[in-house]
Amino acid sequence: MSTPIIQVNNISKIFRIGTREKRNRTFREALVDAITSPIRNLSELHRLTRFDKKQLDNHGGTDQPDTDYIWAVKDVSFDVQEGEVVGIIGPNGAGKSTLLKILSRITEPTSGEIMLHGRVSSLLEVGTGFHPELTGRENIYLNGTILGMRKYEIDRKFDEIVAFSEIEKFLDTPVKRYSSGMYVRLAFAVAAHLEPEILLIDEVLAVGDVAFQHKCMGKMGDVASSGRTILFVSHNMAAIRKLCRHSILLKGGCALSKGPTEDIINTYLSSSSLEKDHIVHLPRVGPEKQGSGLTLSFLSTDNKPKSDYKIGEEWLIHLEFQIFRKTEHVIAAIGLITTDGLPLTTFWSKPRDLLPGKYSTDFLCDLPLKAMTIQFAVGLSSYERTFYYVDRIDSVTISSISKDKQPLRASSSGVLMNYQESEIVQVSNDASSKHV
Amino acid sequence: MTQSASQNTKPVIHIKPKKGFQFVDFHELAQYRDLLFFLVARDIKVKYKQTVLGGLWAVIQPFFMMVVFTLFFGKLAKIPSDGIPYPIFNYTAMVAWTYFTAATTSAGNSVVGSGNLLSKVYFPRIFIPMTSVLAGLLDFFISFLLLFGMMYYFHIYPNTMIMVLPLLILLMMLTASGIGMILAALNAKYRDIRYTIPFLMQFWMFATPIVYPASMVPEKYRILYALNPMTGIIEGFRSSLLGTVAFPTDMVIISAVISLTLFFAGLIYFKQVERYLADII
């Protein structure tokens, strides 16, 4: 393997957390404070960018936890090979953006070093440096050069940029008169035509209407497949999955792991915000409604609480709910949704007339699902009119390990099924490719 | 582009915490020169958008200051003006001074004002204060036009020393850049600077021969006086454009030394602060 195009070695970055405000209780205190504050302010402002050796050395141990500063990125190391498209995922505050800022040389690391072999462009925001008073044409040049293009490169791509942004008619109108959609389209168009060897992108795909987002994803895919090296930070797992073969998981400033995207996403989703219980307490509604959900729990088929299943394994969803007044024709329903928001299926209970009281119902999930994380929606209805509904409830993970060695295993297009039962039979012995 | 060709031309970027003295990477500045051009173009285009008088503002400001100074210092206080009419004596200095104040003030506030840009994208940060200094030149040349009108009116014409004028303008730009960069960097750290700049420029104006001639300053203080780089520059302006006094070569040399020193001091200090600029903006 050749030298990695990006080599990140033990990068750390320390930040001061803002200076704390002190409240004055008396007039005298306030007065004294006003007089002495310049000296204090000066030392605090000065301290913002200075860290003594003790604090810097301390980042391994925890003997003296100083709350005044924070390691935004801590000992992060990874390599990226040329042409790789790598996703960076992690919860808010994990240091993803700081890492991109260090890589794009906006801010300096506190320690560690990075080697980048190639021209770098970073896209941390769409439309950086756009000036509202300037026309679309002028902003294309301004924004393009800010992002690191030369004028002749922009000249060469100008028509392409304009065509992509779909704003031909308004090219000589100041962008302050643009609709917000036109504005982001133009901004993305400029960014999409950058041609650096290394491209750093932070969560910028969520712009424009659905059609334009689709176009952006397509363009991103093109860029990714053109051999460009891309680091892509996003919370949109569908986009990460689509664009990146490998991903890095960051948490609390540390790089937890780098590996195939699907595995990393699963690690992230099953570890992060979803520090799951096997019992989820549902949001309650008051007795002004007919009833309310109470809990949702996940059980293996032998009734053990569990929320991590293998491919092909069957499991139970146990819903408990309360009915406040006599309600007829009650149906309890559970919807299964992917973390990208795609509905998978819905289970319905048999309708039943209920008196006030607590009830429960079990659903057996025997769907052949691929390795993924599933979220839930819970609904209660009377005569198919919903009186209780919640969605985006925490999840169940299907891991990529299959229950038995066979017959089920994950493939890129879902779960492989039935390949033992289905046989290939010959239709004819005509070997030519001609279709009759 | 083939793989091997791109392999050869690929720059290697090495990122690590920088310690100690940093100097400007001229190769990089050259790489980004188009950006400087568009930033200056932006400032110039945007400046008089949605105004009625537009570029006339470049003349109005120094002109009305000249009128006020002529009334108070020329007529009432009867301050001498090296034997030429006070209005043209003062306006010549005001043309240079207005540029200097505007460029320095705008450079001083430029970095704080570009916070969003600085925290979102990398480019040579030095371009931010530089843009202010360069974009101000347009106003300077516009206000110069009125000076020609006044020369015609007062029948005062430049002598051969006008050849030195470009050098004086360059020195003025270097001084504005140097001070501008120092103020911009300080301003990023201590926002007090924003409120200090107007004071500073006001004091500085009276420490510079604008409303009075340098010849009014006692002989023994002249050297000290010339340490203000704008002294030599403004006196040089008057001498070369109006032929008031003999060209103040000594003063201009001192100015040149001080201007260059300020410029390099500004560069070095700015580079120093630049490293953590995005963290404190």
Please report which confidence band the pLDDT of residue A413 belongs to, taking 50, 70 and 90 as the band edges: low
Query: Which has more pLDDT, A102 or A303?
Result: A102
> How is A305-325 classified by DSSP, letter by letter?
B--EEEET--EEEEEEEEE-S
Position A115 pLDDT exceeds 60: yes
Structural domains of chain B, count: 1
Look at residue A17 in the predicted model and tell me its pLDDT: 67
With CB atoms and an 8 Å threshold, state whether A106 touches B35: no
Q: Judged by CB atoms within 8 Å, which residues 149-188 of B form the interface with A?
A: none
Q: Does B14 touch chain A (CB under 8 A)?
A: yes
A380-397 mean pLDDT: 82
The SS3 of residue A267 is helix
Contact B277, B111 (CB under 8 A): yes
Same domain, A34 and A148: no
Query: Which has more pLDDT, B230 or A434?
Result: B230
Mutate to test the interface with B, among A134, A152, A158 (most CBs of B within 10 A): A134
CA distance B136 to B269: 23
Same domain, A295 and A355: yes
Look at residue A38 in the predicted model and tell me its pLDDT: 82
A52 within domain boundaries:
yes
Q: Does B276 touch chain A (CB under 8 A)?
A: yes
Position A53 pLDDT exceeds 80: no
Shortest Cα–Cα distance, B20 to chain A (Å):
14
Same domain, A213 and A115: yes
Look at residue A135 in the predicted model and tell me its pLDDT: 94
Closest to B266 measured CA to CA, from B176, B195, B194, B190: B176
A4 within domain boundaries:
no
Q: Is the ipTM of this complex over 0.90?
A: no
Query: Which has more pLDDT, A214 or A245?
Result: A245
Look at residue A420 in the predicted model and tell me its pLDDT: 53
Joined tokens for residue B278:
């995005």
CA distance A345 to B125: 54
With CB atoms and an 8 Å threshold, state whether B118 touches A106: yes
B261 within domain boundaries:
yes
Same domain, A61 and A125: no
Contact A354, A323 (CB under 8 A): yes
Look at residue A400 in the predicted model and tell me its pLDDT: 57
Same domain, A94 and A226: yes
B85 within domain boundaries:
yes
Position B4 pLDDT exceeds 70: no
pLDDT digits (tens, 9 = 90+) for B50-66: 888 888 999 999 999 99
pLDDT digits (tens, 9 = 90+) for B13-34: 888 887 767 778 888 899 899 9
pLDDT digits (tens, 9 = 90+) for A258-285: 889 888 887 887 664 444 557 777 888 8
CA distance A415 to A310: 12
Same domain, A97 and A168: yes
Q: Which residues on chain A are in Cβ contact (under 8 Å) with B6? A: 118, 197
Shortest Cα–Cα distance, B140 to chain A (Å):
23
Taking the CA atoms of A350, A351, A354 and A359 in sequence, report the sign of the dihedral they define. Answer: positive
CA distance B140 to B58: 7
A93-113 mean pLDDT: 89
pLDDT digits (tens, 9 = 90+) for B236-245: 999 999 987 8
Look at residue A63 in the predicted model and tell me its pLDDT: 43
Same domain, A168 and A205: yes
Neighbour count for residue A407 (Cβ, 10 Å):
15
B182-199 mean pLDDT: 93
Q: Which of A101, A104, A110 is closest, CB to CB, to B17?
A: A110
Joined tokens for residue A107:
């801010």
Q: Does B12 touch chain A (CB under 8 A)?
A: yes
Look at residue A1 in the predicted model and tell me its pLDDT: 54
Cα A52 off chain centre by? 35
Side chain identity at residue A4, one-letter code: P
pLDDT digits (tens, 9 = 90+) for A214-238: 777 788 788 878 888 999 888 777 7
pLDDT digits (tens, 9 = 90+) for B193-218: 999 999 999 999 999 999 999 989 99
Side chain identity at residue A322, one-letter code: Q
Look at residue B11 in the predicted model and tell me its pLDDT: 79
Neighbour count for residue A242 (Cβ, 10 Å):
16
CA distance A238 to A84: 18
Percent of chain A with pLDDT over 90: 18
Angle value at C-alpha A315, between A314 and A321, nearest 5 degrees: 150
With CB atoms and an 8 Å threshold, state whether B15 touches A145: no
Q: Which of A15, A119, A134 is closest, CB to CB, to B42?
A: A134
Position A302 pLDDT exceeds 70: yes
Q: What is the dihedral of CA B130, B131, B134, B139, to 10 degrees?
A: -140
Q: Does B116 touch chain A (CB under 8 A)?
A: yes
Look at residue A258 in the predicted model and tell me its pLDDT: 86
Q: Which residues on chain B are in Cβ contact (under 8 Å) with A45? A: 189-190
Structural domains of chain A, count: 3
Q: Which of A105, A145, A148 is closest, CB to CB, to B15?
A: A105
With CB atoms and an 8 Å threshold, state whether A49 touches B190: no
Q: Which residue of B has its CA nearest to A14?
A: B279
Q: Which residues on chain B are in Cβ contact (under 8 Å) with A146? A: 35, 38, 117, 121, 123
Look at residue A127 in the predicted model and tell me its pLDDT: 79
Q: Which domain holds residue A165?
A: 75-271
CA distance A39 to A69: 21
CA distance A273 to B83: 82
Position A59 pLDDT exceeds 70: no
pLDDT digits (tens, 9 = 90+) for A27-44: 777 788 778 888 878 877
Mutate to test the interface with A, among B2, B16, B277 (most CBs of A within 10 A): B16
A5 within domain boundaries:
no
Position B3 pLDDT exceeds 50: no
Q: Which domain holds residue B68?
A: 24-280
A436 within domain boundaries:
no
How many angstroms separate the Cα of B94 from the Cα of each of B65, B154, B241, B247? 8, 17, 13, 19
Q: What is the CATH number of the domain that holds A353?
A: 2.70.50.60
B79 within domain boundaries:
yes
Percent of chain B with pLDDT over 90: 71
Shortest Cα–Cα distance, B143 to chain A (Å):
25
Q: Which of A102, A142, A148 is closest, CB to CB, to B42?
A: A142
Look at residue B154 in the predicted model and tell me its pLDDT: 93
Q: Which value, in Å, is the radius of gyration of the alpha carbons in chain B?
A: 21
With CB atoms and an 8 Å threshold, state whether B280 touches A49: yes
Shortest Cα–Cα distance, A196 to chain B (Å):
10
Side chain identity at residue B17, one-letter code: P
A13 within domain boundaries:
no
Q: Which residues on chain B are in Cβ contact (under 8 Å) with A195? A: none
B108 within domain boundaries:
yes
Q: Which residue of B has its CA nearest to A144?
A: B35
B14 within domain boundaries:
no
- For tokens 């000992």, the residue is A75
Same domain, A317 and A218: no
pLDDT digits (tens, 9 = 90+) for A342-371: 888 888 889 989 888 889 898 888 887 777
Joined tokens for residue A148:
């690191």
Q: Which residue of B has its CA nearest to A110?
A: B17
Per DSSP (E only), the strands in A93-214 are: 111-117, 120-123, 198-202
Q: Does B45 touch chain A (CB under 8 A)?
A: yes
Look at residue A366 in the predicted model and tell me its pLDDT: 82
Same domain, A395 and A333: yes
Q: Which residues on chain A are in Cβ contact (under 8 Å) with B190? A: 42, 45
Same domain, A122 and A254: yes
Q: Which residue of A has its CA nearest to B190?
A: A45
Same domain, A219 and A327: no
Q: Which residue of A has its CA nearest to B113?
A: A129
B96 within domain boundaries:
yes
Look at residue A18 in the predicted model and tell me its pLDDT: 57
- Residue after which a domain boundary falls, among A31, A49, A67: A67
Q: Which of A117, A133, A146 is closest, CB to CB, to B46?
A: A133
Q: Which residue of A has its CA nearest to B191?
A: A45
Q: What is the CATH number of the domain that holds A104?
A: 3.40.50.300
Q: Which residues on chain B are in Cβ contact (under 8 Å) with A107? A: 276, 278-279
Percent of chain B with pLDDT over 70: 96
Q: Does B275 touch chain A (CB under 8 A)?
A: yes
CA distance A47 to B108: 22
Same domain, A59 and A207: no
A400 within domain boundaries:
yes
Q: Which residues on chain B are in Cβ contact (under 8 Å) with A42? A: 190
Mutate to test the interface with A, among B7, B34, B271 (most CBs of A within 10 A): B34
A231 within domain boundaries:
yes
Side chain identity at residue A389, one-letter code: Y
Q: Which of A128, A174, A197 is closest, CB to CB, to B121?
A: A128
Please report which confidence band the pLDDT of residue B1 belongs to, taking 50, 70 and 90 as the band edges: very low
Joined tokens for residue A18:
């803002």
